[in-house]
């Protein structure tokens, strides 16, 4: 049930090897199936898949995304760690190189703090997504965006949608900006996606019981100004909106 959950990236040089990355599922809680961040390699040559290998010893949020290195060949794979009963804002970026996956991460600590809470009445906020601007001209610095589900609207709704800079040479994040108006209504984002030209950030919101009508919503933020505009909603109680993706023609 993870927002992103799985990402597949082809080896930079070998067209027959596909790296399959998987995250944890936040809805399972501390007793759920939480194997951390893992990868397997599928070989198209002989139709086999290697056993999953865990990267690092941390729990993972549901976030996983990728973007090209500045060199246009290697690929950055990014997720976010989670710790039981400890707040952490660490992003982990791994480089898939011509020689294979470099499992030594570039760690950036900034933005929204995730915490997997162990109390029976508490809520974990490991649910979320992360996306990168499209980068056809291989710029050194591009925008990234992340969503974090805030539990019952009490965990920093301003930063529950983050806009960040990402350095495609070093794998480092910087300049975190919390989007939103700080209201509980914007504390339950689910997925996000940039427009093709990178000027808009689309965000989907789950239906929720604490910010008014139980409507799933979708809206857009202007990346330059942070201005939010609701595009539409489900118009029906308890009907939510999930993943958003951009098609090859630029249509959401």
pLDDT reported for residue 122: 59
- The DSSP bridge pattern shows strands 217-222 and 228-233 to be antiparallel
Between CA 230 and CA 13 the distance in angstroms is 42
Give long-range contacts, CB 8 A cutoff, 24+ apart: 141-145: 141/165, 141/166, 141/167, 141/168, 142/67, 142/166, 142/168, 142/198, 143/194, 143/198, 143/223, 144/65, 144/67, 144/78, 144/173, 145/192, 145/194, 145/201
Phi, psi of 199 (to 5 degrees): -90, -20
Instruction: Give the pLDDT confidence score for residue 28 in this predicted structure.
Output: 67
Global pTM reads 0.94
Q: Which residues contact 112 (CB under 8 A, 6 or more apart)?
A: 89, 146, 148, 156, 159, 160, 162, 178
- Beta-carbon contacts of 31 under 8 Å, excluding residues fewer than 6 positions away, are none
Q: Which residues contact 42 (CB under 8 A, 6 or more apart)?
A: 17, 18, 20, 48, 49, 50
Q: What is the pLDDT along the chain (252 residues), one digit of tens a residue?
A: 789 999 999 999 999 999 999 998 887 666 666 789 999 999 999 999 999 999 988 999 999 999 999 999 999 999 999 988 888 999 999 999 999 999 999 999 998 888 887 775 556 788 899 999 999 999 999 999 999 987 666 677 777 899 999 999 999 999 999 998 777 777 789 999 999 999 999 999 988 766 667 788 999 999 999 999 999 998 877 788 889 999 888 899
């Amino acid at each position: 049930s993870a927002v992103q959950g799985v990402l597949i990236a082809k080896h930079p040089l070998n067209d027959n090897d596909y790296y399959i990355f998987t995250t944890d599922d936040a809805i399972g809680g501390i007793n759920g199936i939480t194997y951390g961040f893992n990868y397997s390699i599928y070989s198209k040559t002989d139709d086999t898949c290697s056993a999953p290998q865990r990267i690092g010893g941390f729990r993972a949020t549901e976030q996983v995304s990728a973007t090209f290195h500045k060199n246009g060949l290697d690929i950055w794979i990014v997720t976010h760690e989670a710790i039981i009963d400890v707040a952490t804002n660490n992003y982990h970026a791994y480089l898939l190189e011509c020689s294979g996956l470099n499992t030594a991460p570039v760690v950036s600590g900034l933005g929204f703090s995730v915490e997997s809470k162990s109390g029976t009445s508490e809520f974990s906020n490991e649910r979320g997504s992360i996306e990168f601007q499209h980068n056809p001209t291989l710029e050194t610095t591009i925008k990234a965006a992340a969503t974090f589900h805030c539990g019952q609207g009490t965990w920093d709704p301003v930063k529950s949608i983050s806009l960040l800079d990402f350095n495609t040479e070093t794998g480092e994040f910087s300049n975190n900006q919390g989007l939103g108006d700080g209201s509980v209504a914007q504390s339950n984002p689910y997925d996000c996606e940039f427009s093709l030209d990178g000027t808009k950030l689309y965000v989907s919101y789950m239906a929720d019981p604490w910010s008014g009508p139980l409507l799933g919503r979708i809206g857009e933020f202007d990346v330059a100004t942070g201005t939010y505009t609701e595009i539409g909603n489900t118009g029906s109680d308890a009907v939510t909106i999930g993943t958003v993706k951009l098609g090859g023609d630029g249509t959401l």
